[in-house]
């Protein structure tokens, strides 16, 4: 395994992060425990979850992912070996669909996170997506419709920062980060925190893959200048970049076979780009999924790459991608495809 350092905490974390959102939907508790056992034995000490998981979200299953992690901690007594990240999520079935990133709701959410996880602290606590309407979750650009929002009805940035810093003082979280955030949002949080002498966000968790490199447009410089690294999610585009959906295939039990809400990864442009990336992998004698993950691993703004798997074979292969270094020829071929078909799956 390779590691990076969360500078603000001093923690050494694995460049591969164990994603967990299938646990409770596509994976049982026993399977989740098996994945945790293997991941830690392979040196993957950084794990990410959220209060709304599993995903796709369902009210009757909400929190099961964290509960599975909690029972593993209770069984193995290895909480101290894991750098754990979780989130507060503004879902319609949480807090009557009225979640605000204020002290009351952050405290309520954390109460539930900690109880389910069977721990008294979370290393990295993240705001799952912004309160305001902006370009995230398959929205490529900031649209005119978004300009008419009245932000005065939302939680002020400083109030959120103060609430999170208060939880740091209590010892319930050690640091905090953002998710599905824009360059403006990250910089606004950083500015408010610095102005008021408070701890700001240390990471941002956004999508990043061969099919979605929008992070490079503005946020990559923020990562570089402000030491706020990317935790890349969906690095395989919900499995599309493994090649298993090529030529119209619909593998039984696969995510896009089971759920139709992630069609952005298999639109015509995405299919075309994926076919070209598959050809690059074939010509280079590479496993396509490992090539896609190795590309993400190699980016200088990456703090950790969040992989997810429903089978142990997938998990082992994904973790092993850390050992693959792509040649200049492969990287140049990837850039040629990206230039022709940039970001088909925002």
Q: Is 151 helix (H, G, I), strand (E, B) or coil?
A: helix
| Cβ proximity of 131 and 154 under 8 Å | yes
CATH number at residue 67: 3.20.20.100
In a domain, 246, yes or no: yes
Q: Which of 53, 208, 215, 277 is catalytic?
A: 53
- Alpha carbon of 103 to those of 88, 169, 205: distances in Å? 12, 13, 22
What per-residue confidence (pLDDT) applies to 21?
97
Under the banding of pLDDT at 50, 70 and 90, the label for residue 264 is confident
Question: Region 76-100: what's the mean pLDDT?
Answer: 97
260 — pLDDT class (breaks 50, 70, 90): confident
Residues spanned by the domain of 67: 3-340
Position 346 in a domain = no
Q: Mean pLDDT, to the nearest integer, of 269-294?
A: 98
Judged against a pLDDT cut of 90, whether residue 262 lies above it is answered with no
Residue 130 belongs to some domain of the structure:
yes
Q: What is the pLDDT of residue 54?
A: 98
The residue-averaged pLDDT of 29-44 equals 98
User: Terminus-to-terminus CA distance in the chain, angstroms?
Assistant: 29
Look at residue 250 and tell me whether its pLDDT is greater than 90: no
Over residues 23-42, the mean pLDDT reads 98
Please determine, for residue 81, whether its predicted confidence score (pLDDT) is greater than 90: yes
In a domain, 261, yes or no: yes
- For residue 70, pLDDT over 80 is answered with yes
Task: Read off the pLDDT of residues 132-170 as tens digits, 9 standing for 90 and up.
Answer: 999 998 888 999 989 988 888 899 999 999 999 999 999
Domains contained in the chain, number: 1
- 15 Cβ contact partners less than 8 Å away, ≥ 6 residues apart: 1, 2, 3, 4, 297, 302, 304, 305, 322
Nearest by Cα to 211 from 345, 66, 330: 345
Is the per-residue pLDDT at 299 higher than 90? yes
For residue 345, is it within any domain? Answer: no
Q: What pLDDT does residue 257 have?
A: 84
Give the model's confidence band at 253: pLDDT under 50 very low, under 70 low, under 90 confident, else very high: confident
Q: Binning pLDDT at 50, 70 and 90, where does residue 244 land?
A: very high
Chain centroid to CA 212? 13
Which pLDDT belongs to residue 258?
A: 86
Q: Which of 198-207, 226-235, 242-251 has the lowest mean pLDDT?
A: 242-251
53 assigned to active site: yes
pLDDT greater than 90 at residue 326? yes
Residue 263: what pLDDT? 78
């Amino acid at each position: 395994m390779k590691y990076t350092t969360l500078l603000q905490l001093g923690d050494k974390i694995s460049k591969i992060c164990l994603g967990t959102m299938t646990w409770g939907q596509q994976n049982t508790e026993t399977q989740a425990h098996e994945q945790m056992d293997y991941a830690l034995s392979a040196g993957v000490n950084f794990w990410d979850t959220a209060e709304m998981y599993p995903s796709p979200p369902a009210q009757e299953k909400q929190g099961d992912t964290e509960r599975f992690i909690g029972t593993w901690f209770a069984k193995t007594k290895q909480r101290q070996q894991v750098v754990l990240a979780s989130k507060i999520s503004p879902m319609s079935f949480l807090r009557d669909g009225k979640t605000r990133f204020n002290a009351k709701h952050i405290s309520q959410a954390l109460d539930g996170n900690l109880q389910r996880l069977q721990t008294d602290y979370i290393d990295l606590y993240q705001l799952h997506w912004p309160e305001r309407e902006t370009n995230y979750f398959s929205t490529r650009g900031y649209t005119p419709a978004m300009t008419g929002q009245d932000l005065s009805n939302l939680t002020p940035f400083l109030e959120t920062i103060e609430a999170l810093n208060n939880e740091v003082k209590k010892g319930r979280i050690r640091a905090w980060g953002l998710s599905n955030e824009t360059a403006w949002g990250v910089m606004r949080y950083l500015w408010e925190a610095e102005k008021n002498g408070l701890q700001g966000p240390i990471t941002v968790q956004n999508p990043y893959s061969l099919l979605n490199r929008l992070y490079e447009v503005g946020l990559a410089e923020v990562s570089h200048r402000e030491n706020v690294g990317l935790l890349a999610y969906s690095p395989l585009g919900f499995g599309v970049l493994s090649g298993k959906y090529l030529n119209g295939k619909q593998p039984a039990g696969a995510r896009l076979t089971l759920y139709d809400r992630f069609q952005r990864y298999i639109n015509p442009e995405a299919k075309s780009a994926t076919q070209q990336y598959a050809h690059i992998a074939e010509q280079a004698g590479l496993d396509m999924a490992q090539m896609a993950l190795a590309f993400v691993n190699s980016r200088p703004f990456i703090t950790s790459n969040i992989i997810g798997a429903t089978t142990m074979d997938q998990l082992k292969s994904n973790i092993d991608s850390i050992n693959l270094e792509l040649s200049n020829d492969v990287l140049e071929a990837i850039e040629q495809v990206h230039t022709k078909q940039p970001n088909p799956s925002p």
